[in-house]
Amino acid sequence: MTQERQYELVYIAGPDSSEEEMADLHTQVEQIAARFNGRIEKTENWGKRRLAYEIGRHREGVYVLEHLYGTGEMTREIDRRLKVSEVVVRHLIVRVDEDLDVANRATSRRKEESVRRRVARGLPPEPDPSERRGGDDDMDGDGGMEDMR
Amino acid sequence: MSDERGGGGRGGGRGRDKKDDKGKGEGRRTFSRRRRVCKFCADKIDYINYKDVRQLAGFIPERGKLQPRRISGACATHQRKLQTAIARARQLAMLPYVTD
């Protein structure tokens, strides 16, 4: 139950939060993590961003992402504190280790499979860039950008 | 579609000249239908990140609703991952729940 897991925490503070408030929030999270023998691995500040919809009366928010290691109890406490906080308008804690594990396994399995097949065909295990088939980016992304607007 | 039904209707004749039937069926099916491959599988994406709005935006039609699999063309695994990613992004106000 008290196993260490990897989490991602994103919180959104109101657009007019001061630097101090942001720093304060960060130390709060850090302290809670430390109390539960967890740690913050990395912090990313995305700055002020437009919200896709209004939260409360805000149209913008300051996003911060924290990569956390710790126990479930730690996240529960962080969750509780952020709910109470008046600076934070929205937050989300996501456990990521399992998803990343699955993704890594899929990647390595595919790589192994490709190596196996290439060797079976008598090719060197790694494809070199010249034999890549191109022209698959015609459908990519461009339709999506229009949808967003 | 109607071709296929015609073939199936002759159920009585099936047992007798099975070989013949089979050959015909295959011949009919060869008209080129393009095989659709899941875009995520093709691009070898194993983890759909909820923070990457640009990636997700391609699968959000104008109205902001989820795209059904028959349109997005994603395989079951990736459609499921896409769903969770979109749900998370919505919660963080990076994507809209609805747009009018």
pLDDT class of A17 with cuts at 50, 70, 90: confident
- Taking CA atoms, A96 is separated from A100, A116, B82, in Å, by 6, 30, 15
| A86 closest CA partner among A9, A10, A13, A15 | A13
pTM: 0.70
Q: Find the mean pLDDT for residues B42-57.
A: 86
pLDDT tens for each residue of B61-77: 888 888 888 888 888 88
Residue A149 has pLDDT above 70, yes or no: no
pLDDT at B31: 63
ipTM of the complex: 0.73
Check CB contact under 8 Å for A144 and B58: yes
Length of chain A: 149
Structure tokens at A71: 């126990």
pLDDT tens for each residue of A64-120: 999 999 999 999 999 999 999 888 999 999 999 988 898 899 889 988 988 898 888
- Tell me the chain B residues in contact with residue A136 when contact means C-beta distances shorter than 8 Å: 42-43
Q: Which of A48, A50, A51, A53 to mutate to test the interface with B (most CBs of B within 10 A)?
A: A53
Q: For residues B77 and B85, what is the distance between their CA atoms, to the nearest angstrom?
A: 13
A42, with CB counted inside 10 A (0-12, 13-18, 19+), is exposed
pLDDT class of B7 with cuts at 50, 70, 90: very low
Structure tokens at A40: 């913050």
